Amino acid sequence: MTGNLDVIIAGGGRVGFQTAALLANRGDNVTIIERDGDTVEDLADAWVATVIAGDATDPTILEQADVAGADVVAGLTGLTGLNLAVCMAATEMNPDVRTVARVEREAGDAYTRFVDAVVFPERAGAKVAADEITGSDIRTLVDVTASLDIMQIRVEEDAPAARKDLSEVRFPAGTLVISDEDGERVARSDTTLTPGKSYVVAVEPEVVDEVLNLMRG
Amino acid sequence: MSGHDNRSPEAELGLLDATMIGMGAMIGAGIFVLTGLAAEIAGPAALLVFVLNGVVTAFTGLSYAELASAIPKSGGGYAFVREIFDDLPSFLMGWMLWFAYMIAGALYALGFAPNFLELLHVYELVPPPEQIGSIAVPVVDAGVSAGFGLAFGAVLLLVALNAASTAASGSVETIFTATKVSILVVFVAFGATSPMFSGAEFQPLFSAGSGPSAVLPAMGLTFIAFEGYDLITTVTEEVENPRQNIPKAIFASLAVTILVYVTVVTVAIGTLGAQGLAEAGEAGIAEAATEFMPTGLPIIQNGGALIVFGAVFSTLTALNAVVIASSRVAFSMGREGQLLPRFGQLHHRYGTPFVAILASGVVMLGSVALPTQSAGNMSSLFFLLSFIVVNGAVIKLRRERPSMNRPYEVPYYPIPPLMGIGLNLLLTVVLVVFLVRTDPMALVLSVGWMLLGGVAYVALDRVRAMQGADTEPTSTTMTSQERD
């Protein structure tokens, strides 16, 4: 209801730290539990979160992070087992708390018996890496939804849809062009697909190839 | 991914900027407004009053430094206490701090008015301040005190400015503070070398009637003079290397401010005498300056005008600072659900915490009707109380979360926070006893504000219970004991 969440993050390594920084920028209250002394120093310098120095699996440490008053507990260390343990211990202390665990491989719904959500940061990282490898022509913007991709696609010179109005192009069902060429306006039926310009498109995975074909040739 | 980063302001304030923010708030108005009042109560011992207050505040400064280094939030005292205490204590802390800043705003506005009149007087635009009893406002057909009108107008102006545009950044504050300090240095330099000072009279140190016992009430009254270093902790996000620079900035600003106060008060008492200083009241420093500053200078004509300008400028910038500070407390409370959510929302067009600023402005405007001394008494009282809570927060946090990373730790713990609590408590008691004798209205208003807070807390709890669960009439019983 109030905009800000009380979040506890176990593990202040790269994933935990970046997550904490993003949340802190959004105004959430973040507490990081970190075992390694050097990392604790780095976190303190970065000034994004309250830091509890200690082992997140130690119940007294979890208590010091105030699980009882937290909205979310996220286990973001590199160890799936430890993350799950932290989440389950937290649920034990505060049944209302939402739990998120970082996992090491894609596991589907297997873990959701124990935690509310799992994250697989390597996959999100891989998407970014793939985007960079293909250059700036195609870019996955966000990974918010279950399978829907929101991508930024640059129209190629010789592509089928180049220089056409949106009303003239028949995109496959499951496609929605969102922005116009400069990203200033929402696309309308008279928006022209200008070569060299990028458009934001929401697209279902099974038709991504078709859309890329139309816009990239 | 990087799209979110623009939310957090760039770290751009160095140690100097952070120190200047603290000094800017402390050297702002206190020195100009309160010197006369302190002299009125304590005589030449006003000097002692400021030194001792600086020492007492330093203990709380240590606590602030530890909290600010351990809890990376920019909200100042309320944000720390909210992290550490339960709903009710943190609500009361926010409620007290909000009031303290608002009343401080009224105090600075009331200090601004006579100094502004003095400035006009120096250029002979208006008769001497003591002759302006009231001016007739033809439209309203009623006599309105000129000072009250000016104070009211100043609050109105700054509230409107802050409501309609986002606040100026800390780097502007550095220029403001440098200006203020330079003006005071000029004051000290001319005052100390003037013939009036050579015959300075500091004896008897204590005023005839009450003796050394007058020092304590004077300390209570002027305690607010050292309020302001806590504002450093409201901008920590923008300070580079904050875990080292914030504690340093707190101590540096306190040390320099004590030094400035001591030299300025010495010169003021030395030239004008404690008696004359007391009679000048809120415009004490300004009046002292017009006595000894050279006249016939180009452009500004009277050298004293520079000091009077400094007083006007300082009270206005300090007023601006507390308008921002008070609305930030209300805004944070709204964000945390401890005031109506509307307080925690930005205005859709201006991008400012509009409701929080407006609400603070309304209370400030009402408080401008208070006598200056009552405003000083009340804001000092509430700062004392909130400083007690801050020291308590350090102790509570150490006990409950020993493993929390504390880049800065209070040395010789637990002596400093205990000293902070003890001394602040002592001053609170002395101030309350003093108020019972001399200013019962301030006391009644203070108690009234706390009762209003209790009502607001219960009412808000009811509202939330009704919104939260329509099915069950949830427990409001547990919150009904805070009246005692």
What is the model's pLDDT at position B12?
66
**Positive or negative torsion for Cα A149, A153, A158, A160:** positive
What is the pLDDT at residue B133? 45
- At B6, the pLDDT band (50, 70, 90 cuts) reads very low
At A155-188, the pLDDT tens digits run 888 788 888 888 888 888 888 888 887 777 888 8
For range A128-152, the mean pLDDT: 74
Q: How far apart are CA A9 and CA A32, in angstroms?
A: 5
- Out of B242, B243, B335, the one facing A4 most closely (by C-beta) is B335
- Check residues B465 and B29 and name the one with the higher pLDDT: B465
Listing DSSP states for B184-253 in one string gives HHHHHHHHHHSHHHHT----SSS-TTTGGGGHHHHHHHHGGGGTTGGGGGGSGGGBSSHHHHHHHHHHHH
The per-residue pLDDT for A76 is 94
Chain B neighbors of A27, CB-CB under 8 A: 335
Domain boundaries, chain B: 18-469
| Percent of chain A surpassing pLDDT 90 | 29
Residue B399 in contact with partner chain A when CB distance is under 8 A: no
Residue whose entry in the numeric block shows the structure tokens 């205490």: B85
Q: Which of B7, B72, B402 sits opposite A47 (nearest CB)?
A: B72
Beta bridge partners of A117: A100
Residue B165 has pLDDT above 60, yes or no: yes
Which tokens sit at B79? 């944000």
What mean pLDDT is predicted for residues B88-112? 91
The amino acid sitting at B161 is: L
Decide if B71 and A50 are in contact by the 8 Å CB cutoff. yes
Give chain A positions within 8 Å (CB) of B401.
Answer: 52, 64-66
- pLDDT at residue A19, as a whole number: 92
CB within 8 Å: A64 and B403: yes
Tell me how far apart the alpha carbons of residues B186 and B194 are, in angstroms, rounded to a whole number.
12
Across the interface, whether the CB atoms of B404 and A51 are under 8 A apart is answered yes
Q: Classify residue B195 as exposed, middle or buried by CB count within 10 Å of its CB (0-12, 13-18, 19+).
A: exposed
CA distance B343 to chain A (A): 11
Residue B334 phi/psi, 5-degree rounding, is: -65, -40
Size of interface A-B (CB pairs under 8 A): 63
> Hey, which CATH number is domain B18-469, 3.40.1160.10, 1.10.1300.10, 3.30.56.10, 1.20.1740.10?
1.20.1740.10
pLDDT given for residue B208 in this prediction: 54
B71 pLDDT higher than 70: yes
CA dihedral B11→B12→B17→B18, nearest 10 degrees, is: -10
B70, A25: Cβ pair inside 8 Å?
Answer: no
**Is the predicted pLDDT of residue A26 greater than 80, yes or no?**
no
pLDDT confidence of residue A112: 81
Lowest mean pLDDT among A48-57, B229-238, B397-406: B229-238
Structural element, H or E, at residue B139: none
pLDDT above 60: residue B132 = no
Confidence of residue B424 (pLDDT cuts 50, 70, 90): very high
Rounded CA gap, B354 and B344, in Å? 9
C-alpha closest to that of B18 among B246, B230, B180: B246
Q: Using CA atoms, how far apart are residues B151 and B148, in angstroms rounded to an integer?
A: 5
| CB contact (8 A) between residue A2 and residue B344 | yes
pLDDT tens profile B34-62: 888 888 888 888 888 888 988 999 999 99
Tokens of A216: 């990239």
Q: Which one has a higher pLDDT value, B9 or B346?
A: B346
- List, in order of start, the domains of chain A with CATH numbers: 6-119 (3.40.50.720), 125-216 (3.30.70.1450)
Q: What is the ipTM of this complex?
A: 0.70
Residue B392 vs residue B213, higher pLDDT = B392
Instruction: Judge whether residue B415 has pLDDT over 60.
Output: yes
Contact (CB<8Å) B337/A2: yes
Tell me: pLDDT of B409 over 80: yes
Hey, are the CB atoms on B404 and A64 less than 8 Å from each other? yes
Q: Tell me if chain A has a CB within 8 Å of the CB of B14.
A: no
Q: Do B241 and A45 touch (CB under 8 A)?
A: yes
| CB-CB contact of A143 with A158 (8 Å) | no
pLDDT score of B327:
87
**Per-residue pLDDT at A149:** 78
Of the pLDDT bands very low, low, confident and very high (cuts 50, 70, 90), residue A51 is very high
Mutate to test the interface with B, among A17, A31, A34, A50 (most CBs of B within 10 A): A50
Q: What is the DSSP letter of B268?
A: H
Average pLDDT, chain B: 80
Between CA B291 and CA B262 the distance in angstroms is: 20
Q: Does B1 have pLDDT greater than 50? A: no
* A197: number of Cβ within 10 Å: 15
The arithmetic mean of pLDDT across residues B83-111, rounded, is 90
Q: Say yes or no to pLDDT of B139 above 50.
A: no
Q: Is B351 left (phi over 0), alpha (psi -120 to 50) or beta?
A: left
Distance CA B69, CA A47 (A): 9
DSSP state, B301?
A: B
pLDDT value, residue B296: 62
pLDDT tens figures, A110-138: 788 889 988 888 888 887 788 788 776 77
Count Cβ atoms below 10 Å from residue A115 Cβ, excluding itself.
23
Q: Write down the pLDDT at residue B316.
A: 86
Put simply, whether A144 touches B (Cβ < 8 Å) is no
